[in-house]
Amino acid sequence: MKKTLFYAMSITLLLFTVGCAEQKILERISLAILIGYDLENDNEVTATTAIRTVNQDYESVVLTKSETAATSKGTRVKVNLNTSKQVMAGQLRVVLLSKDLAEAGLNDTLHTIMMNSEMSSSVYLAVVDGDAKSLITAPYENVSDVGQHVFNLLDHNIEQELTVSSTGHEVLRDHYSSFKNMVLPLIKLEGKDEIQISGIALFDNTKMVGQLNDGDNVFYVQMLRKKFEYGTLQLEIPGDAFDVKSNIQIAIDSIKSNRTIKVTNPDTPEFDIQLKVKCRLLELSEDLSIGDAMVLKKIEEEMSKKMKSELERILKFTQDLKADIFGFGEIYHGSVRDPELDGEKWAELFPKSKMNIDVDVQIIRNGVFE
């Protein structure tokens, strides 16, 4: 009994001691939760940091600070020189990169992220369609912590598969691959105080070379990049296939897709891409007899044609930009024995590659009658 009491008191004392020590530490440091980088005219970088700190009343508050230097590492040093508490990156959630900086190249920024032992590999990276400083310092009416807000926005949309996942681990993996390019979420400040995910930024090596702005575009990119667990989509099919004058608008959800990509001709090179899609039909803009198996089959066929057309358009767009965000190069590299194949050679082959796409849509149930 005495031993049990002794152990209980020891553990309690230890918890209080640790709690006191942590409180003293938090009084002496500030936590960077969001950093945004902008490119200045003289090729310097401005870093704007959202910092969570504890004030004299022991209340958690969020402040913003901006510093300019020749490198992103230099801006971090300047921020620390101008604050009374050491700024730590251990709680950093998001790194934002202005579009100008992304188009100029992210070598220095990615190197800083890789070399910073404090920074978690789960931090999200995103490109700002505009400048990062304006987005971070905007006078938001309903956002008290802009860092947490941007993190929640990205995290939710990535979880729902509405945008690409862009953790530091994933971005650096693609960055150091010779046969795959990076892709990052694109966000923007809409109006005075609303942050939106507006699309995705496409990269060739470390430079942003283009963007896709529409949510449906991102859907098709996701289909080619990975196995879909669930998703939603609105698409349009021709009405003349059903003796209807206007085109038919269709809404589907609960989308599950599986992709198979094979190299069929290494010389061209040529790929066969098979996509099997299962979904639930939610809405139709026309009154079609979907209880009729023949009508339902025709809807599936027209949806397959539409998806194939959109996927071909997306692929052509990325090939023109030499932005292999799908990893066709990795599949090709794993299928052929070419000791001379490297990233530079694949960059020449990717735009010339022939892509044969086959889409098979199956409506597993519908919500029109539910």
Per residue in 248-278, pLDDT (tens digit) is 999 998 889 999 999 999 999 999 999 999 9
- Specify whether the CB–CB gap between 332 and 346 falls below 8 A: yes
Residue 201 confidence class, pLDDT cut points 50, 70, 90? very high
* Shared domain check, 247 and 125: no
- Nearest CA among 201, 341, 184, 216 for reference residue 269: 341
Q: CATH number of the domain that 288 lies in?
A: 3.30.300.210
Per residue in 168-177, pLDDT (tens digit) is 999 999 999 9
* Shared domain check, 173 and 68: yes
Identify the DSSP state of 167. B
* Shared domain check, 358 and 225: yes
Please say if the pLDDT value at position 242 is more than 50: yes
* Shared domain check, 140 and 26: yes
Which of 159, 184, 213 marks a domain boundary?
Answer: 213
* Shared domain check, 222 and 114: no
The count of domains in the chain is 2
- Specify whether the CB–CB gap between 138 and 48 falls below 8 A: no
* Least confident segment among 74-78, 186-190, 216-220, 232-236: 74-78
Per residue in 55-69, pLDDT (tens digit) is 665 566 677 777 776
Its domain, for residue 252, covers 216-370
* Shared domain check, 232 and 189: no
* Shared domain check, 352 and 231: yes
Which of 156, 181, 213 marks a domain boundary?
Answer: 213
Which of 213, 229, 261 marks a domain boundary?
Answer: 213
- Specify whether the CB–CB gap between 158 and 173 falls below 8 A: no
* Shared domain check, 323 and 174: no
Please return the burial class of 329, using the count of CB atoms within 10 Å of its CB with bins 0-12, 13-18 and 19+. buried
* Shared domain check, 331 and 276: yes
Q: What's the pTM value of the predicted model, to 2 decimals?
A: 0.85
Beta partners for 19?
none
* Shared domain check, 181 and 84: yes
Give helix 168-175 / helix 107-115 axis angle, nearest 10°. Answer: 120
- Nearest CA among 111, 174, 124, 147 for reference residue 34: 147
* Shared domain check, 238 and 92: no
String of DSSP letters for 249-297: EEEEEEEEEEEEEEEEETTTTEEEEEEEEEEEEEEESS---TTSHHHHH
Helices marked H in 142-214: 146-159, 168-175
Helices marked H in the chain: 2-28, 72-81, 99-104, 107-115, 132-137, 146-159, 168-175, 215-225, 293-321, 328-335, 343-349
**How far out from the chain centre does Cα 181 lie?**
13
* Shared domain check, 229 and 187: no
